[in-house]
Structure 1
Amino acid sequence: MGTPLGDFVRAKRDSIQPQTLGLPERGRRRSPGLRRLDLAARAGISVEYLTRIEQGRDRNPSVSVLNCLADALSLDAAERGHLRYLAKITGGACPSHTRPAPPRRDVRPALLDTLRLLEPGIAVVTNRLGDILARTSGYELLTDGTGLLDSDTPNLTRYVFTDPRARTFFTDWSEVADEQAFDLWLGPSIENAEWLSTELAPVAGPEFTRRLNLHVVPQRGVLRLNHPSGHELRLTRETLDVTADAQQLVVYLPADERTAEAIAELRGYGRGERGARARGGLRAIS
């Protein structure tokens, strides 16, 4: 049985073409990418040891081995951080005799006060599982009519993979799906991530499990949305990690003047039910 660390190393090895590292072609082979022999030589470890890591039979490689693997795979800073994180959860993993449970959903009053200061801007408090824990009226306005907030306990990851409307709402749905799947590895705990993955796998199918095991660090560029009002929105995301709570505060900002004008129009649209709802202020999920 493999491990997240072994899966990541193998996925990165398979994604590298030997010629990009100045290595000679060694004839046709059944699988793409870098050979174990070449990666082991670059990292200064034995092929047998690399095989044990990839297959999950060695769960505790030293820091020096991790650094050598990172150098040999030419990992960037974000990928190196992911490698270290996977090594941590792989080494600390042990069989659990209790049923995995969802994480806590409460948000500290101080964080709610911070979110309130951002009104009427577009901001949300989430965890890495995608649970939407609190949001501003601006976030409600942004997602109005998309179905994202229809549930009493809205979850962005579940929405992306199980609600057909998500594929219309997110212009670059594939990139957003990669982001949400990757973030499960950074969840409040490995047990929490297992809980959501187990729940999603049967309904989301191979589209979800394939992305979960890609271990590709997402770029998180401009978020493009097709708003139900007909507006095409482009937003940048500023994320503040609240490490102690395993949560994050995400603020969405217009990426261009056209988007800024569209959001202003949405805020001023009507003075009826939607307008009243947008002026209703902060909403926290309990």
Structure 2
Amino acid sequence: MVHVDLHAVTQPVGIMRIMAVILTGMCFILVATVGHVSSPYWAWCMFTWCFCFFFTLGIVVLEFTTVSTRVPFAWDDFTAAFAMLAGLLCLSASIIYPTFFACKVCHRAIGASVVSWVCFGVYVGEVVIMRLRPSGQTSGFLSTLPGIMKMLEIFFACLIFMSLETGQYSSSPGLQWCIAVYSLCFIFALLIILLTLGQLTIYFPFSFDMLAIVYNVLAAVMYTTAMVIWPLYSFRNNKRPGDCGSLCPWDKLVVVTFMTIFNTIVYTLDTVYSIRLVFCVNRE
């Protein structure tokens, strides 16, 4: 039976979530009224605000109706992880949208950018509150350092996919290998998160921790090759055009290069930490 819990919307975390719902909705409406722009960066920003709006609203509704107490996974772990992810998404939108789509006389675009930064601060505040309160000291996978790094890996991969231009890599085997690396690592990182969140790892006939270590090592090696191959094949005999303005395809190659470097670092740290966790900490 469903009961109503007023405490879910009157406690500080609940108030933060209601503010986030309002602010992300404002961002979406302001940008929608400006008009559609045919750009993956514009689509990313709109997706970010829409995604955060509906998921945060869903969390508020589930806690208000106490349905959250019946979900088959660690709810506190999920909400803490979502707040971190939503903060990252809003941070990226807060940087991307004003950089490419705002101007001095674009009042609604400026307003959306400011509201997005405020929304980022709200999600950061939610994470801080959940970490400081005694009941917010979660121990689930997504709230741990390996879980956070997995979310970062997926986040950087999404930025890579958003910056890829159709036809940039169709005639280059080297760039095709990089696309395969980005895609495979994204899929397997997402699978690890879903399996762990759904507590399905106990059904594996072998150690899931060892499987994760093997995956991390392979992913780190694959990303290292992509970190070398992508700029080598992308910028060889390809200087920046003189008329390269906003949203220039050449600049997107630079974005993919840096996101590849960042993800290589994250995968390397994830590998080192998981090895240390399994072979050193767990054996003490």
TM-score range, shorter chain: under 0.3
- Judging by fraction of residues, say which structure has more strand: 1
Task: Report the TM-score when normalising by structure 2.
Answer: 0.24
- Judging by fraction of residues, say which structure has more helix: 2
Task: Report the TM-score when normalising by structure 1.
Answer: 0.23
